Structure formats: C-alpha cells, structure tokens
Chain A
Amino acid sequence: MTTLLVHRRPARGAASRLPAVVGGLAVALIAAVLLFPSWFATHSPETNDVLNAFAPPSADHLLGTDQLGRDVFSRLVHGARLSVTIGLVATVVGVVLGSALGLAAAAGGKWADVAVMRLTDVWLAFPEVLLALLVIALIGPGAANVAVAIGVAATPYYGRLVRGQALAVARSEYVEAARVLGIGPVRTALRHVLPNVGGPVVVLASLGTGSAVVAAAGLSLLGLGPLPPTPEWGAMLAEGQSYLSTAWWIAVFPGAAIVAVVLAVTALGRAVQSRSLR
C-alpha cells in the first residue's frame, strides 16, 4: 500500500482542485467502462481472428491485436471489470476484516486492545505480496482467492485505522452519554462509533483500491489469477510478455491501464482526504 504512507498536508488553493476533478472524471469513466463494457468495446473480447494476429495498432484495432487476433482494446475494456473488481473486493475484504478487528479492540476493553494491537504488529511484519502468496498457497489460486488473499494482507492497516478512530470517538462525549444511558457496548459500537469512523476509512480504502488492483495484476502475472481466455489485465501482461520484442502493444497497454486506474483512484482519494482534513 504505497499510497498510504504519503500523508500530505491539505493542499491549498484552486490549483489543488484540478487533480480532484481529473481524478473524479477518470473514476467515473472507469466505472462506466466497468458497468457497460459493450458501449466502449469495438470488438468481442474473446472472438479469435487468427489470420489477423499480431496486428499493430490501427484505425480498426486501436491498440492492435494479440496472438489470437483478439482486439487488445476490447480486451482491455472488458478486462477492466475483473481487474478492478478484484481490487474492490479485496478492499472490501480488508475493510470488513479490519473493521471487525479495530472495533473489537476499541470496544472490548484493555486486553482485547492489547491482543489486537500485538496481532496487527505481527501481521504487518509480513510484506503484503508475500502474505497474499501464503494465503494463495493455502486456499489455492483463482480470481476470487486472489481478492481474498490481497484483502487479508491489507487487513491490519484498516484494523489499526478503525481502532484509532473508534477510540477517539469512544472518548467523545456522546458515547459517554450512551454509556450513562445504559446502552450496551456492541450497540454503541454499531450505532455510534462505526458511522464516525467511516470518513477516514473511505479515504484509506480509495487509496488502497489502487494498490489492490496492482497487487491483483501482479499475482495474476505470476499465473495465480483467472483462467484464459478471460480478459484480465495481469493475465494479458503475462501473455504479452513473450511477444515484447515483436508486438509490444500486447503487454504495454494493460500495464498502462493499471497505471491509469491507480493514478485516478489516488487522485480522487487524495482529494477526499484533503477535504476531510480541512
């Protein structure tokens, strides 16, 4: 989660709105591609046209064709759904597991807090990619398992954030009031603490989604993701790697798509971050 570490001060002035606007538009475009790929795709992503294999970018095939004559642009468009969804699902898994941990630490008293903190200490000692690989070794490869693995690896970041926010909220006056009124800790956590923790988690999650998309593509580059002929960016990268010197467009464009998504999501996440800090 590269992006998490760079905590920038809220930017000042109108100039800082530009990345936010661009990021927002880009994310909207990605969402549209995700939901309605057939609006954008010029060809079917899986139909072969073997006699037209390795065609360079042209008016007919915007980003060229791959080794089976499939349109790279259309595969990118259709691949967005799986590639981005894996990242989103991974983030949801991380947020859900992390929130459960964080809230348990905040609501469960001193020992629970110590236990969760020490657990996340250990968890964070594993580099994310390696932890995800360990999870895959245990549960097996495939798109869904890749998402789970990345989510599990990202969990401690969310756990710590939620715990910190929850503790801050818990010390606030209205939670104190709830306690005086005799409302149980679980209910307090769900009704009062959780909603107030939401903002920063959304920021972290939007930044984390970018990293998760990259991680998913990486694992699928290693051959642990979805099966062919399913279009998916990491798998396309892996396929194209063999043809780099003759048909660079097969591998280079999926990588560029990943970069574009990360940039868009990060820009948006930063914009939300600076707004919420203002």
Chain B
Amino acid sequence: MRSVLRRVVAGVAVLWGAVTLTFLAVALTGGNQVDSVIGPDAASVPGLREQVAAQYGLDRPLVVQYADRLGGLLTGDLGRSYQRGQSVWGLLADQVGPTLALAATAAVTGVGLAVLLAVATAGRGRAVRRAASALEALIVALPPFWLGIVLLSVFSFGLRWFPAFGADGPASLVLPALALALPIAGVLAQVMRQELEVAEGRPFALSARARGLGERQLLLRHTLRHALLPVTTLSAWTVGTLVGGAVLVEQVFSRPGLGRVLVEAVKHRDTPVVTAVVTLAALVFVVTSALADLLYPVIDARLRTEEGR
C-alpha cells in the first residue's frame, strides 16, 4: 500500500513539474504573447497592450499568474485561447474522444501484432528469426505519417476499402490505427522475442517440458506471460509514441482530434492551447507509467512463483 502511495505522490510531483516547466518556458520566451493577440497595432494604439494584457490577466506578477494557473488546473480550468477567445477546455472537449479512440485502437493492434509476430518466430530457425528481425527493423524505421500516406493511397484511393477521412465508425479507424500501430509492433516484437527466448531456456520451461506439456501449450501458458512483461515496461514509451504519432497521423488522414487542434494552435502561437494539450499528454504519460510500475511487480511475482514450482 505504501508503494502505491509513493508512486502516486511521485506522479503528482512530475505533473506539477510539467506544469511549472511549461509555465516557465512560456514566461521566459513569450514576451510577445500579448502582441500576438492584438495584431499589428500593438505599438500604435496607446494603452491597448495594457488593456489586452489585463483582459488575459497577463499584467499580474508572474507568481500570481502561476498560482492562478495551478489553481485553474485543479478546478479543470485550462485558460482561454488567444486565437479564438473561447475556453481551452471548450475547444478540446470534443476532440479528446476521436484521439483517444485512435490511440487505444492503435495500442491494442500494436500489442496484438507484436505478440503474433514474436510467438510465431521465437525459437524458430535462424533464417526465420533473421527474416523477422529484418522485417521488424524495417517497420520500426517507417514513419507513421508516411505509412499513413502509403496506406491511404493503396487502400483508400486505390482499392476503396476504407474511408479516407473523418472519425465516423470503426472503418475510419482502420488505416490510421494501422499506421500508428505497425512501428510500435515492430519494437515490441523485437523485445518480446528476446524475452521469450530467454524464458525458453529457463528451468521452469525444462521442467514443464519434462511434465509433458506440448510446445504450443508451453508457449501460451507460460512464456507468453513473460512476453507481456516488456509491454508493461514499455507502456509509457508506447503512450508517448502514440500521442506524438497521432498528431501527424490525424493530419494525414484529416481526422478530427487533439492533434489537429494542437497544430493549428502552434501555427497561431496560441500558447494556452499548446500548453494545455502538452500538459494533458504529460498527464496521460504519468498515469500510464504509474500503472505500469504498479503492475510490473504483480506480474513479475506471479511469474516467479510459477517458475518456482
């Protein structure tokens, strides 16, 4: 129980650090924030800059702004967009769903493909393994945005199997999720196969074989559990890759989502929106890695008791 508490505190601390870091970064570099809201008359209309700064609360001491930002986050207030004038949360609320659907589908697909690939090739002959590892190296090197473009032109424009755009229904998820999932599957499969092959040689595998368990059964019942260990250790990385990749994939597939809002905001130097999305991503990252850290010992312990038998 104490370790859970400690992990939660650490997570909150990292999140607080993330908020502080973005706040400082904006404060240190964002001298022209107000000017970007006002436009070209910033210098020519006396008092205008002050007026707009007051409107956005930017005239207050940094410490007060910082306290306000932290307080706002606690109450779910992400600030107000410079470009659109509306609340950031209002802008993002509709976009969370499509991005989440995409990321979740891609995660499940990626893990599934990796397991298939690893189980099918682990412990096989050298040729099979080398072919598999070459394939993995190749798909790891494929940028999701380019993969997206290729999938789009073949399966959407060419064969017309899947829609080219939008977020309506499962069919529209297939190609973007695949574009995101393949590189992740490549990495996971590499690590899983190593894990599997190490597990193969362990005493429990030998004793299991001695007990007459078939190879398939052994693989499924025991070693697969080993293979899932890297999934937990790499889960935080996976989430980071998914979120980053989603930004580009959403662009390529013209999907609604946080990525498109973020890119628009970056182009307009709309810092409240950008920091909000980035902070949200950090939150997801922190929660995932905390969960992974908590799950790891559980899985690991089960494995160890199993092997001890």
Contact = CB atoms under 8 A, between A and B. Distances in A.
Contact of A241 (B14, B183, B252): B252
B274 A134 contact: yes
Nearest to A219: B248
A63 interface: no
B26 interface: yes
Contact of B140 (A3, A119, A121): A3
A140 B35 CA distance: 14
Interface stretch (A49-57, A66-74, A258-266): A258-266
B168 to A, nearest CB: 21
Contacts of A252: 149-150, 153
A122 B21 contact: yes
A107 B263 CA distance: 40
B2 to A, nearest CB: 20
Interface residues of B, number: 60
B145 A218 contact: yes
A interface majority secondary structure: helix
B17 A121 contact: yes
B237 interface: yes
Contacts of B271: 137-138
Contacts, number: 149
Interface string B137-151: 110111101100110
A141 B268 CA distance: 11
A263 B286 contact: no
Interface residues on A, range: 35 or more
B194 interface: yes
A105 to B, nearest CB: 16
Interface in A117-138: 118-119, 121-123, 125-131, 133-138
A2 B241 contact: yes
A136 B130 CA distance: 41
A255 interface: yes
10 contacts: A2-B183, A127-B241, A127-B281, A131-B278, A134-B25, A137-B271, A138-B25, A210-B141, A218-B143, A252-B150
Given A252-B150, A266-B141, 20 more contacts: A2-B187, A5-B237, A8-B194, A121-B14, A121-B17, A126-B278, A127-B243, A130-B277, A131-B278, A133-B247, A133-B263, A138-B30, A221-B248, A221-B252, A224-B267, A245-B157, A245-B158, A252-B149, A259-B138, A259-B143
Which 4 A-B residue pairs are closest in the complex by CB-CB distance?
A: A129-B244, A255-B146, A122-B17, A127-B240
Interface of A: 2-3, 5-6, 8-9, 15, 118-119, 121-123, 125-131, 133-141, 210, 214, 217-218, 221-224, 237, 241, 244-245, 248, 251-252, 255, 258-259, 262-263, 266-267
